[in-house]
Chains A and B, each alone.
Chain A
Amino acid sequence: MRTFLRPALAAIIIFSVLTGIIYPALVTVIAQVAFPSQANGSLIEQAGVQRGSALVGQQFDQAGYFWGRLSATGPVPYNAAASSGSNYGPLNPSLAEAVQARIDALKAADPSNQLPIPVDLVTASASGLDPEISPAAASYQVQRVATARGLTPSQIQQLVEQHTSQPTLGILGEPRVNVLQLNMALDQIKALD
């Protein structure tokens, strides 16, 4: 028995030190030196105030801001301390209710808009923290944001295009618009009343 217990005990200790302490510590040191911004959450600072992370979405429901995906985190949407999806199955009545509620909210904020609503604007993201929407979902909101801010739609559309990322190398992933950065750029042009 001893011939097995001794190496087993020693092995669990050695590998704990090697992979549980030395390895993460080494990665942390290199990461903090080589990529300090990314390693600490890609935070956006404005006039000495931490405004958010470029990678983490925030909740918007005023007409003058672009709205992001639905977020199923609790107790408030976009709670970045407790990520969560809705986990609604496709036939769950709560899914239909959530979609309908979002449609109603979008229509109430922009009654004259007759365009069909893009699907990512009425569905909850997997993380509840999705920072982005599709270019289609941004286009749908341009008129509303322009009216609320007293700007022209073409000004807004131009800003949307500046904040649109194309698929990486032209092939990987999907085209998308970062909502928080777009809204910060809007505030830069003309603050909301």
Chain B
Amino acid sequence: MISNIIIQIGSFLLVLLACVIPLGRYMAKVYGETPPMQRVFGPIERLIYRLLGIDAKTEMNWKHYAVALLGFNGLGLLLLYGLQRIQVWLPLNPQQLPAISADSAFNTAASFVSNTNWQGYAGETTMSYLTQMLGLTVQNFVSAATGMAVLIGLIRGITRRSSSTIGNFWVDLTRSTLYILLPLALTLSLVLVSQGVVQTFNASQTVELLQPIGNADGQTISQQTIALGPAASQIAIKQLGTNGGGFFNVNSAHPLENPTPLSNLFELLSIVLIPAALCYTFGIMVGDKRQGWAILATMTIILLGFTALAVGAEQAGNPLYQKLGVDDHASALQAGGNMEGKETRFGIVNSALWATVTTAASNGSVNSMHDSYTPLGGLAPMVLMQLGEVVFGGVGSGLYGMLIFAIITVFVAGLMVGRTPEYLGKKIEAFEMKMAALIILIPCVTTLLITAIAVSSDAGKATVFNSGAHGFSEVLYAATSAANNNGSAFAGLGANTPFYNTWLGIAMLVSRFWLIVPTLAIAGGLANKKLIPQSAGTLPTHTPLFVGLLIGVVLIVGALTFIPALALGPIVEHLLMSL
């Protein structure tokens, strides 16, 4: 069994690391002076700039960059909201699905624009094909590109000296989409179709059951209706863009969304592919690849720790099964463990690995039902989100979040020895620290506040599915997921109510855009500064010592904030289960 765990997780890590250098180098060129593959993309890129009516050479200061970003995302929010409200009158709706309610449409629009992709709705019974494509798929692309643009702005802030500008938002948005996301998504979607992921505009397919069954009213059911749709194109970008909103209700657990172990490996890799490669891009752009490797090492170590916890807890299983005489031991013939809410083809290891990867990155797609995890197996994904989605995190947003933690770390280390902290040659001063504190605190406060409101109001408690400590975990998980832009869920919670749609929608917008603005402010502040020469007192930020310090700061901030809340949910549930 141990060997199976090592093989499954090891093959995933090896393929990932093999992709980091080529993709990281390619992305560094894309954001540089002369992007690669000009013959293919150059004409399209120039056409886009002409249609936008912009001069690609004109740069923006951080405030203009932020205004452009917020304007673009604001319009995207309105468009997606509108599209859902009128889908019933629009084409490509073969199941004739009705218009979506105001609160649900707001929640979904906020969710996809903020790169959270929390699904309050069930895809196949709610969204028309047109809404899935023109609404959700579009935001899957541009919300990811927005995150990448902010990251590149921040890196420019770090590398430039005495500069008032941090780049051009339209250029960064266009290049992220055109050069990186589109080619990767096109390739991945075709790989997924080859494995059996559906891609069609036909309506659902009705088939004759091999064995007719009786329903609750005593009638005989002899047919099965299989939902289809243009799924592969959306699934590819939902994985690559750390979006996570599935085509079908059960997301990548659905056999037509993730049919084979091979499709599972590709989808899993795609979750962390760009966030991991961006670390290498960062190393190239700051002129010291060791800096990128140090960040990547930090992320990988934290991820592996929580993966071990989740796989161990799920494989150990639920004492209930042995009490009832069920065989839950792992063997060559079965995965064993806690198989409730898991698919046979993925077993325990690939389910628990996915659960931690999707929450370390702010993806939030699932290939098993987290609500049915053992208490500690469910705690691992919850904590990974509560760390602020900086362990790989969202495309762009994960790395800029981790760089903020790096700034906090040099500050803490500076306090210990009484020196002004510096990061990559830039002095870290009061303004940067205030902004960094905001960025760390906003998601924490939002998570705890919304959990408190939900568990102390009737509307919040009304749709909790499981009772007791697990019910509290459902609410805490939902607030955590929304306030950290993840999007996965303990799906038993009935979240498609005006209460949750509104509160979680607000949480997603706040912790996306209220973090982006201070991040850009830091970028602008750092760009303005002069480079200070390294001295004997400079803390090197590429060493194992720094990696250790950074891991410590990330874990301690998370632990101090959330242990009391976790004690009321998964921890007490774990104690109850072992009684």
Contacts and interface: CB of A to CB of B under 8 A. Distances in A.
Interface of A: 4-12, 14-16, 18-21, 23-24, 26-28, 30-32, 34-35, 38-43, 49-62, 65, 69, 75-92, 95-96, 99-100, 103, 116-120, 122-137, 139, 167-168, 171-176, 180, 183-184, 187
A28 B76 CA distance: 25
Given A7-B54, A24-B230, A75 B201 contact: no
Given A89-B470, A99-B320, 18 more contacts: A23-B233, A39-B200, A40-B228, A53-B256, A77-B213, A79-B225, A82-B124, A82-B249, A89-B492, A91-B573, A118-B333, A119-B321, A122-B321, A125-B343, A134-B335, A174-B347, A180-B210, A183-B210
B396 to A, nearest CB: 16
Contacts of A41: 198, 200, 205, 226, 228, 256
30 contacts: A4-B71, A19-B182, A23-B233, A24-B133, A27-B190, A28-B200, A31-B232, A35-B194, A38-B195, A38-B197, A39-B200, A50-B206, A75-B216, A80-B225, A83-B254, A86-B369, A88-B341, A89-B473, A90-B372, A91-B577, A120-B334, A127-B255, A130-B345, A132-B343, A134-B334, A167-B261, A172-B8, A172-B11, A173-B261, A174-B347
Interface in B258-284: 259-262, 264-265
Contacts, number: 387
A70 to B, nearest CB: 9
Contacts of A23: 137, 182, 185-186, 233
Given A171-B11, A176-B344, A100 B71 contact: no
B211 interface: yes
B142 interface: yes
Contacts of A75: 215-216
Given A15-B138, A27-B189, A41-B228, A21 B369 contact: no
Contacts of A171: 7-8, 11
A133 B200 CA distance: 28
B137 A24 contact: yes
B292 interface: no
Contact of A56 (B182, B201, B224, B470): B224
A39 B72 contact: no
Contacts of B124: 81-83
Contacts of A16: 79, 134, 138
Interface in B129-171: 133-135, 137-138, 140-142, 170
Contacts of A134: 333-335, 344
A118 B334 contact: yes
A167 B344 CA distance: 11
Interface stretch (B399-407, B413-421, B460-468, B555-563): B460-468
B346 interface: yes
Nearest to A167: B261
B327 A118 contact: yes
B125 interface: yes
Interface residues of B, number: 132
B48 interface: yes
Nearest to B236: A27
B68 interface: yes
Contacts of A129: 254-255
B536 interface: no
Contacts of A86: 340-341, 369, 372
B11 A173 contact: no
Given A41-B198, A116-B325, A127 B254 contact: yes
A128 B255 CA distance: 10
A43 B207 contact: yes
A4 B227 CA distance: 42
Nearest to A27: B233
